[in-house]
Every structure is written in C-alpha cells, then in structure tokens.
A and B are shown apart, each in its own frame.
Chain A
C-alpha cells in the first residue's frame, strides 16, 4: 500500500506494479498530483510541471495493478512486516466515480462559490468542483461543508452521479508493506506578520505565485498585481521565510532546500514573460547545490535578475499605490527600495496529518516532525515493513522525490520478493480474431456525453453521416460510451455486426483510449483496430456558439477517424526473453547498495570493480554522519556482498564491450589478464566520483594546506594537539569557470570537520571562508551548532578570494569580511580546502560504451532530469550515485536503491513485450545514410551486419523522428504510417467534395 498521491507515491506505486506487485494507492486528495500539480514549471529545466505530471497520473490510474482510492486515509495498521492489515477510511466524495463523466454541468449550476484552496485562494470554485482541469481521476467531488443541498447539481447531472447520501467507508486491506508518501506542505507565511501576507494585497506566497504563473491558474498564466491588476514592473523575492529560524512559532530550524531554486525559477519565468521586469531576490545563501543548479542561477543573473544578499526585516505598504518597500543592508548602508509586488519564498513543513498518520502506521517522527528514517537506509522508518518516500522524509525537490519513491519500492520489494506476482492481476483476454485479409467493416460509436456533446453537436446527424461513409458497417449513438453498460453493448455489437474496425467519437484519447482498447481486446479484436475522434474537448466544448460548424467539424473528425482506422494494421506485442540477471559497474556504496537490493529481490548480480577492493570513496571518509561511520557502514555492506549467494564480484575488472539490448545484453569484462563474457538483462552504472585537482591556494606548495579528504585522515588519527587555528576555504576548485557546479558535499563536511576539531579541543580557532553555506535541509542544524561553538564564518566574494602567504608561524591569510567591513588577517596552522568532486576517471569512456551522454561537467546525463533521474536514454541501463552528480552518502544510497527498483521492473518479467507503435525499417529501401542513427534521441538505430539500419522494437520509444527524417522513406512508424496520416486528412476532403455535389 502506498499512502499519498504525489509524485513520490505515484513513482513508488508504478515501480512496484511494474515489478509484479499489486498496489493500493491511497490519497487524501480528490486527485493525484500533490504539490507538483500546483507548480507552473520546474527548475532547473523550466519544463511544464503539468506536462510531466499528466501522463504520470493517467498512467497510475490505468495501471491494472494499481487500485487508486481518493479521499482515503490510513487509520490503523495491524500485524507485521509481510502481513499487515491496514484500516483505511474513505471519506465520501458525494459523486459516484463510476458514473461521473467529468462534464462539469453540476459545477456550472451550483450556486455556492467558495475560495479555491488549490489556487492559493486567489480565485473561486463551486461547492461541487474538480480540483484542477487535468485532475485524475477526472471526476467531480462535493465539498459538503459548503454545500447547501439545494440539489441543483443532482437535477442537472444526467449521469446520476451525485449522491449526497454517500457515507464514509471503512476498508480492511491485507497487505505486505506500506510506503508513506504524504509529502510536505508550505509554511503559512501569514504567521510572519512583518511580511504582510494576507494584509497587503501585493504580497503573495511562492505557491500562490506558482498558481498565477500557471496557465490553468487564477490569472491564466499572466502576472497581475492582485490589488489593481497592473503588470508588475519591479518584483522582489524574499527568501528563507519560515525556514532557518530557530525560534518556536516563527517557522522551522532547517533549510527547506527548494525555495532558493523555486524563486530563481519564478524570477526567470517572469523575465521570459516580460524581460523588462526588474527583479531582486533577497537571500542569505543561494542554495543551488543540485545538478545544473549553479548554471541555472548564473543564467538568471545573466538575464539581469539581481541577487542581493540580505534577508528582509519587514515589508511596508504604501496604502495609496499598493507598492511595497523593503529596507536591506548592503556594504554597511541601509537602503530602501520600492516594488510593485513581493513574493515570499516560504519554506515547507511536514503535512498537518503527519502526526496522525505516524500514529496510525506506528512509526516515529524526527525532531522536525518528518518521518524518522535511518541515514544508511533513508526510506526505512522505525517500523519494519513501513517505508517512507518523498517530501515526508525531509525537504527535497522532484528528482530526489522520485528517487526516494523508487527506493522505497525497492525496499518493499526486497521484503516481499517471495510474493512477487502472487496477487498481481493478469487479465485473460479471448483469442484474437485474425482479420488481416478481411475487408474493413468499421463500426462508429458516437457519444452524447450526456448533453456535453449532444447539447451542441447534432449527434443524430453525425450518426447518420457516419453510416454513409465508405467502409462503415454501422453507426450507433451512446449517451455515455464509457459507462459499463455501453461497453458491454459495444462488445455485443462487434459480434453481432462482425465489426473489425472501431471508431469511438467521444472525448480524449489521453483519458479514454485504454478503456476502449481494453473493450476491443475483450471482444477479441486487436486493440490497435481502434481510433478515437475527440468531438467533445476539441469540438462541442470549444465551439459552443457555433452548433452548425461544430456539427460539421464533428462529422469531419469522424470521417477522418474512419479514414485512418481503415488502414490500421493489427500490432502485436511480441514477448522477448529477459535474462533475469544484472550487471553493476562500480563497487562503491552505490554499486554495493544496488547489488544488494537486487540480490535481495532474488536476482543474480555481477558486480564489477576496477580496483583491488570494494568500497570506493567511503574508505576515505572517517567522520560519522548522523551517527553512522562511513567506514563501518561500508565494511558491513562489503561483508554482506561477499556472503550473498546471488552476487558475484569481479575485482580489478573493467567493462570493455557491451552489445545486445534491454533484457538481453552481452558484455565483455577484462579481469586482470582474462576476458569474461557475461549475459544479463540490465546494467546499473555506479562508477562514482573522485577528488579533483586544485591549483589554487598554495595546494601542493605548502604542506600545511590540505584537502578535505586529507583532513578526514588527519581527524581519524585523533591527534591535533599542535593546531591552534584552522582555516577552511570553501569552493576551492568548484563553482568556477570550467567547473561550473557545486560539489554539494563539502559545506556539510566542513561543518562536521569543524565540529570534530572543536570536540577534540574547544580552544582551537576555526574560520570558514565561504561563498554560500550550502548546508541544505536538516544539515542546517549542524551549521548552527558550529556557530554556537564559536566557528567564525566569513563570506568571501569570488572576485576577491582569500589571499594566502606561507610564513614561519603559519600561513597568513588575508580576507575581506563584509559583515564587519574590515580586512581580517589570520594566521593558520592548517588550511583545509573544500576540494571538488569530479567524475571518476574514464567515466566518459564507460558512458560511450553504453551510449550514455555526459554533460559539460563530465557526469552522466539521465533521460529526464525530473521524472526519470535514474534512467538513461539507452533502455535497460540505469545510473546511480556520484556518477550522476556529486551527492552525500544517504542520497547515494537512495539513488542506488531507486536504480535497483527501476532495474527490477525489467528483471521481474520473464519476457518483455516488444513492438506496437514503433519504428520499422524496410531494409530494401535503406541506403545506410545513417540519418536515423544520428537523429534518434535514444540511439536505437544502428547499421547492422547486412549494412542496413536496424531498429530494435524493444528499445524504440516510438517518437517517429527517424521516420520523419529518413530521406528514402525506409522507416515507418507503426500506427502513424504516412499513408494512415494522409488517409486521415484525405477523408475530410473527400467528403467535402461529396457533399458539395
């Protein structure tokens, strides 16, 4: 069971369903989506959040092994890991999900308007409502508290879906494991009156602002000032609102980790809309620690967005203009600037229901109210069999959320591996009729969708028209095509009239295609013998004022669908065998964790490590993190690997060649002098990172200057009696030209090292010279502790870095301290450099072998920065750990487990289904021009042994880029073959000619 329908919950549920488990996905909301549904775009790629989310939500709804329960809560969990009974309480929705068609008539007539919480209360909705236009399931719901029971909705709903009498339900569900993913919620910035949210109209929170930016939001994607609708010319962002505040009642002590980037993103979007807007972001530390974040921030600065280091004390409103003025301190001056709008970078906190949920699930929460999980297994809670994912573990962005969703799925799968496939639903369909030689007999079903379509389009006329189209054997009218009743009828008609091609003229393929395809399969037809015409979303709904044109258009759309469907071919998904073994490259913590997870899930694993011993970088880390010593952790894990019957380790080994495809790879491995061949179904790359070279700060010239790794060694010796003053210099070799990224691990490590020094000797003077302290998330508490212990943090600017001079008494360091407007002169016995994390030696070569792209910084590039952080374009290959980007140990472990879950999705099946709407090469026509090889975004086509292009149907993603480009028209994209498209277009003109005659 997965609790929470945000991106974390959906990821966990789909990974589990994919690898053969049946999943109950329960969420307290009316729709899937969670916080992501509220965002406009996502950093650092500026992709539309809803576009990413939409397919995910429908995917989760349509997956036969996921049972989605909305408005549901876990109230009790009895039993033990592997055998729980979950008590779930389902709140009534007052709308029957099985009947509601999402037409919205009820909302149109409902007289009650209330503030729309989803839009940050910037707009109104009705008492019967849908949370957002793309909600999944696409069903309405009644907010009973505001409903006056006027029954107008009941009268207007011809589907009879409204039921004010619905009662809450208690379900007892037998399950093996639970994943909690209730996310986080935004800090309510209204608690901080000094910023004026809720008092001054032109102050909005970041989440409200996201809604304003969103094209489905209250302002339709335009930025208007709430007070007067004017377009703002000067916008200020205030950071750390309700975060990094140690006082009770004023927010939270930790850093919310996403708000810096969220504000930079929002600022960039404003600039995209209106480049002339002046934007200032008031911040303390710009926490751009993630992959490609620094570049994103630099881009923002390049666009003229001003970053001003200074938090804001209060916002003042000019009561006449509604403008807002902010005072801030810069270089010892207090300046005041006026803005038309202020956005508050509000932080995040555990959901209100966290306590209740924790109690129900029997788990503990940490000091901040998030799920308490262990550092060495970040998805494991304090109760066996109960796992956590996403924002519920702590503040994090979407990719990390997705990773933890996968990781939790892996953890649950490890526990339940014996039960795999036991309760997953395998649907049996009747044998398919072979129809390829038969003439097309098209059946057209035109939907009224209550009055949604019929109210505008003359459905009877469309039916009449359709039955006269060439190849059509009959046309029928349905009030609601998607009702169970109609689907049954559809199957009967198919049999009765010997139909072999079907057109359903109704709504969107995005929501309904799977439903009708399924009906065809149940009727013994190939599921690709279906075409839908969208005469609702694309016609009746959007041409309400032109019923005649709409009817004409509906006819055309039906004709087009008929034209195309006549040329449909049956497509078969062919099973290809999967070698249920994995190859893991790299024996660091990432590789080891992934290998162990897969082995626990009962798959054979080959683990290859090019060095003599396993462990990677962790062998060089000494200081405990969250109470866990990296060396001890890695030793324990190495031992587990060695004793695991499912894992075979090759040391001193290197991958030299890979061929084959997902499910069936063949690799050559050089182990010392011999070469071994291995067969496996998936590859996990965990090649890690290393410490980069440093040219600055006298490193290599003076022995008293050491790197952070050398400092770990120094501390492990426990002997520091001679050092009185230690100076740490951050970002040495990171965040500069040529290495324009943050090494992410150093700020936290420095703080730990400083604390360890203080522990050994309280009197040692410690200075940390930094650019931004990036102790994001819960690490903020350690940063605070270091300050409490008297560590002095000095903010240096990259244009005036610390100046070092070797001296007899120590190293003399000059640095400007902006906080006292003075130059500090320090004499250090030891200087510790925050050395950069760079990709492992030869990572590019390894990447080349597997056709994985690398980025400017040399790290591997994932398929999708947000939603597929562990996949790469090459199917069957997954990545994790520091080869992806620099990360801390717990994050690496989560990624490794996540990669294991992704890999298990492939390995769990004995066969993969290949084919369907994918590209196919006509070898006769191919001239081996390599256009397709060059253009395919996934590197699928290759020139095979016959010197023509080959495309593996298993790997092809079906985008059609190659088909569109092939100069010899040798490639066809099934289901979207050129002739099909052309016939579709022709159908609309042929008939026009016919009509005018």
Chain B
C-alpha cells in the first residue's frame, strides 16, 4: 500500500494550468511526481468519453484544470467542463468507482504554487484511495 505509485492524468488548459505548470517550473516549486499532464486548448474541450476512457486505461485519478471562473480564455469553457466533470462523477459512482477519483480545479496561469499544491493534494487523496479497481485489468 505504502509504495503504491498512482498514475494520475491531469487534463490542463493551455491558457491557465499548463502556464501555471511552467511557472511552477521556473520557480522550481517541487511537487509530487505522479501527475502526467495532457494539454488541451480549453478545459471546455474535455468530454465524458475521454475521461471515462482514461479510467478504463487504468488511471488511478483524473483531474481537469481550467481557468478561474469568469476568467476563461474562451469565455465559458471552464463552466462547461465543470458540468461535465460533475456528470462523469455521477457515472463513476454508478460504476462503483469512487467519484473522488475525478476532480475539477480552477487556477490562473500565474499560480505556479497553486498548481503544485493541487498536484500534491490530489496525489495524496488518490494514495489514500488506493489503486483504481480498473487498474491492471
């Protein structure tokens, strides 16, 4: 259990979370190495199928990170993303997967520290939840 190394996929909007990861980098803010970024042009691009597939492939946790509410580069993409995340959480619940394994975060492109904090927080949470029931299927 203790040496469980979860695999976490973060779908990150290019305009905020991806930029924040860069800021974290240039400030050398250290964070948990379990997170892998997938860049998308806007959190609004995310769709339920992609998220579900990601779990199916074996991800222990997934989160979507978009701009602060009201700050979306494409006006409202992050609001849509949140709706979809909520929707998929419900499905996960129905499938017997802890909906906590999926999350939506908002942050700005300058918040390098916040990016790291999210990565740590979420990794911690997934570590507590243990490997995904779909892992190694």
Contacts and interface: CB of A to CB of B under 8 A. Distances in A.
Given A51-B110, A981-B50, A965 B36 contact: no
B33 A964 contact: no
A961 B113 contact: no
Contacts of A553: 33-34, 36
Given A48-B108, A220-B113, A961 B44 contact: yes
Contacts of A220: 113
Contacts of A376: none
Contact of A510 (B18, B67, B111, B113): B18
Contacts of B113: 215, 220-221
A981 B116 contact: no
Contacts of B50: 978, 981-982, 985
B100 interface: no
A207 interface: no
Contact of B44 (A48, A54, A541, A960): A960
A441 to B, nearest CB: 24
Interface string B100-137: 00000000111111101000000000000000000010
Nearest to B47: A964
A215 B30 contact: no
Nearest to A48: B108
Contacts of A993: 136
A549 B33 contact: yes
Nearest to A531: B39
A358 B30 CA distance: 47
A978 B22 contact: no
B33 A965 contact: no
Interface in A532-562: 534, 536-539, 541-546, 549-550, 552-553, 556-557, 560
Chain A CB within 10 Å, residue with most, of B9, B16, B22: B22
B19 interface: yes
Interface string B26-51: 11111101101111111011110110
B30 A973 contact: no
A980 to B, nearest CB: 10
B98 interface: no
B27 A961 contact: no
B19 A54 contact: yes
A969 B76 CA distance: 20
Contact of A544 (B30, B36, B111): B30
A366 B84 CA distance: 56
Contacts of A981: 11, 38, 40, 50
A978 B51 CA distance: 10
Interface residues of A toward B: which range?
A: 35 or more
A508 B26 CA distance: 11
Contact of B30 (A537, A543, A959): A543
B116 to A, nearest CB: 7
B68 to A, nearest CB: 7
B37 A538 contact: yes
A75 interface: no
A992 B9 CA distance: 14
B23 A216 contact: yes
A101 B133 CA distance: 43
A856 to B, nearest CB: 16
A933 to B, nearest CB: 14
Given A545-B30, A959-B44, A985-B59, A133 B108 contact: no
Nearest to A964: B47
B54 A536 contact: no
A541 B26 contact: yes
Nearest to B42: A959
Contacts of B37: 534, 538, 557
B77 A961 contact: yes
A511 B26 CA distance: 13
Interface string A979-997: 0011011101100110000
B22 A964 contact: no
B30 A542 contact: yes
B36 A973 contact: no
A538 B26 CA distance: 10
A510 B15 CA distance: 9
A8 interface: no
A809 to B, nearest CB: 55
A471 interface: no
B112 A133 contact: yes
Contacts of B47: 963-965, 969, 978
Given A51-B19, A961-B74, A989 B57 contact: yes
Nearest to B12: A538
B16 A51 contact: yes
A917 interface: yes
B50 to A, nearest CB: 5
A423 interface: no
Contacts of B73: 51, 959
B81 interface: yes
Contact of B76 (A937, A984, A985): A937
Contacts of B5: 549
Contacts of A986: 57
A978 to B, nearest CB: 5
Contacts of A536: 25
A542 B116 contact: yes
Contacts of B40: 960, 976, 981
Nearest to A47: B71
Given A48-B68, A541-B28, A542-B29, A508 B22 contact: yes
B80 A509 contact: no
Nearest to A961: B44
Interface in A81-106: 102, 104
Given A542-B28, A937-B76, A45 B70 contact: yes
A495 to B, nearest CB: 29
B23 to A, nearest CB: 5
A46 interface: yes
A798 interface: no
B71 A538 contact: no
B23 A989 contact: no
Interface hub of B14, B29, B37 (most chain A Cβ within 10 A): B37
A935 B59 CA distance: 29
Given A47-B71, A133-B112, A989-B7, A216 B77 contact: no
Interface in A372-406: none
B99 interface: no
A215 B7 contact: no
Contacts of B112: 133, 215-216
A203 B19 CA distance: 32
Contact of B33 (A55, A546, A959): A546
Interface in A654-705: none
B110 A544 contact: no
Contacts of A40: 110
Contact of A51 (B29, B70, B71, B136): B71
B109 A51 contact: yes
A537 B57 contact: no
Query: Which one of A221, A552, A964 has the greatest number of beta carbons of chain B within 10 Å?
Result: A964
B53 A51 contact: no
A541 B77 contact: no
A937 B76 CA distance: 7
Contact of A48 (B38, B77, B109): B109
Given A45-B70, A104-B26, A985 B109 contact: no
A50 interface: yes
Contacts of A935: 76, 80
A570 interface: no
B21 to A, nearest CB: 5
B41 A985 contact: no
13 contacts: A50-B108, A50-B109, A51-B19, A51-B108, A102-B26, A133-B112, A541-B28, A542-B25, A556-B36, A959-B42, A960-B44, A961-B42, A969-B47
Given A536-B25, A976-B41, 12 more contacts: A40-B110, A508-B18, A510-B19, A541-B25, A542-B116, A544-B30, A959-B44, A959-B74, A960-B42, A964-B44, A969-B49, A978-B53
The 4 closest A-B pairs by CB, nearest first: A960-B45, A537-B25, A959-B74, A48-B108
